[in-house]
A = this chain, B = another copy of it.
Amino acid sequence: MENFTYAIGTRSYFGEGQIKNLGRNIRQYCARVLLVYGQGSIKRNGVYDAVIEELGKSGINFAELPGIEPNAKLPDVIEGVRLCRLHQVGGVLAVGGGSVLDCAKTIAGCVAYEGDPWDLISMQVRYTKFLPIFTVLTLAAAGSEMDALAVISDMNRHDKLITGSNMMLPKVSILDPTYTFTVPPKHTAAGSADIFSHICEPYFTVDESAYVSDRIAEALLKTVIHYAPAAMDDPTDYEARANLMWASSLAVNTLTAKGKDIGWSVHEIEHTISAYYDDVTHGVGLAVLTPVWMEYVLSEKTLPRFVTFGLNVWGIDAALPPIEIARLSIEKTRRFFSSLGLPETLRKAGVSEDKYFDEMAVKAYGPEGRANSFMPFSAEDVRNILQKSF
């Protein structure tokens, strides 16, 4: 078990009606915020009105940055920084899913920097100061509401980068499962695949000594498997929405990675896809890539981990031969994603051609690949996985 630090700096208010805690919490930091949101769904489902009412009650002024697109993009960050300066806001309030939150979190870190925000996003220059960040979550998926990371794309550069800083952690997040009742099935499925992948990334290691973290990871995986179909069947199933939402936050707040020497694998590959094909929903790409990645990395060395995964997550019969348990665990993972209506190939996910695969393979982990204790990855390995997923 590796050494680690544990500190969860975000105060989360979870449950129906928790929006009532937003105003007084923001007031502890500032009296004017930039309100960042997406493409209008919050205006249709009443969340926008609830937020505005709550801000009004606490006398908080706001400027607005609407229209954040899926896959948070550089121009929105730049525009947000401009608005923060223009209106001299004291904080950033994100209302939406992962892209909105990631955009807002990055804006909050770029306001104090006079240079090109990309310097910070690409981590060539260190973040030094953040405006306080507040979030109201409307999609169980990215876990951005309780982590210190953001993913930002520059479509011109074909770059989708993970950026972060300890200071990027939201101060307060409102997690009201009823705000996800209007999420359409397609995005419930993609969000569930995203949560599933966030748990798998640190779970698949050769070292099994961080037993408690691995058992917690399995608890979260079982939650996704149990409730994703229920939320698809009945979008207003509170228990399903609530468990998915809480699992999404715990999945990526580092809890399941404690004591582990981890290296993420599939997310970076998916990010290169999104950087070329803007239409591919992140979670959909992950659902395609994950089973292919699993098959690719299954080896004598990684077999025990797949057996643990098969027994503890999928309840496969322990009497079967280990290799069969492993293969069955991958098959069950693939079937789970299919059962949510997610595609099994990149082509069906919206990747129309394979001509950029060489470029993408290098982008994922750089030309040298990545040393990952589970399985080292060369650009060629990434290329192979992309091709097998196509």
Interface residues of A (CB under 8 A from B): 1-8, 10-18, 177, 209-213, 215-216, 218-220, 222-223, 226-227, 238-239, 242-243, 246-247, 250, 258-259
B15 and A212 contacting across the interface, CB-CB below 8 Å: no
User: What residues of chain B lie closer than 8 Å to A8, measured between beta carbons?
Assistant: 6-8
Minimum-distance CB pairs A-B, first 5: A3-B15, A215-B219, A8-B8, A7-B11, A1-B242
Q: Which of B6, B211, B218, B222 contacts A243 (CB under 8 A)? A: B211
Complexed CA–CA distance, A259 and B219 (Å): 15
Q: Which residue of B lies closest to A11 (CB)?
A: B7
From residue A126, how far is it (CB to closest CB) to chain B in Å? 20
Q: Which of B12, B212, B238 contacts A246 (CB under 8 A)? A: B212
From residue A175, how far is it (CB to closest CB) to chain B in Å? 9
Identify 8 new A-B residue pairs, CB closer than 8 A, beyond the known A1-B177, A212-B220.
Answer: A1-B242, A3-B16, A5-B11, A7-B8, A14-B258, A209-B239, A212-B250, A215-B223
Complexed CA–CA distance, A227 and B242 (Å): 32
A239 and B1 contacting across the interface, CB-CB below 8 Å: yes
From residue A196, how far is it (CB to closest CB) to chain B in Å? 14
Complexed CA–CA distance, A210 and B177 (Å): 13
Q: Which of B2, B11, B226 contacts A15 (CB under 8 A)? A: B2
User: What residues of chain B lie closer than 8 Å to A14, measured between beta carbons?
Assistant: 3-6, 258-259
B219 and A223 contacting across the interface, CB-CB below 8 Å: no
A-B contact pairs, 20 of them (CB 8 A): A1-B238, A3-B13, A3-B16, A3-B17, A3-B18, A5-B11, A6-B12, A7-B8, A7-B12, A209-B239, A211-B227, A211-B239, A211-B243, A212-B219, A212-B223, A215-B222, A216-B216, A216-B220, A242-B259, A246-B259
Complexed CA–CA distance, A213 and B10 (Å): 19
B212 and A243 contacting across the interface, CB-CB below 8 Å: yes
User: What residues of chain B lie closer than 8 Å to A3, measured between beta carbons?
Assistant: 13-18
User: What residues of chain B lie closer than 8 Å to A10, measured between beta carbons?
Assistant: 7
Q: Which of B11, B218, B246 contacts A258 (CB under 8 A)? A: B246
Complexed CA–CA distance, A13 and B211 (Å): 18
Complexed CA–CA distance, A14 and B212 (Å): 14
Complexed CA–CA distance, A218 and B17 (Å): 29
User: What residues of chain B lie closer than 8 Å to A15, measured between beta carbons?
Assistant: 1-4, 259
Complexed CA–CA distance, A196 and B177 (Å): 31
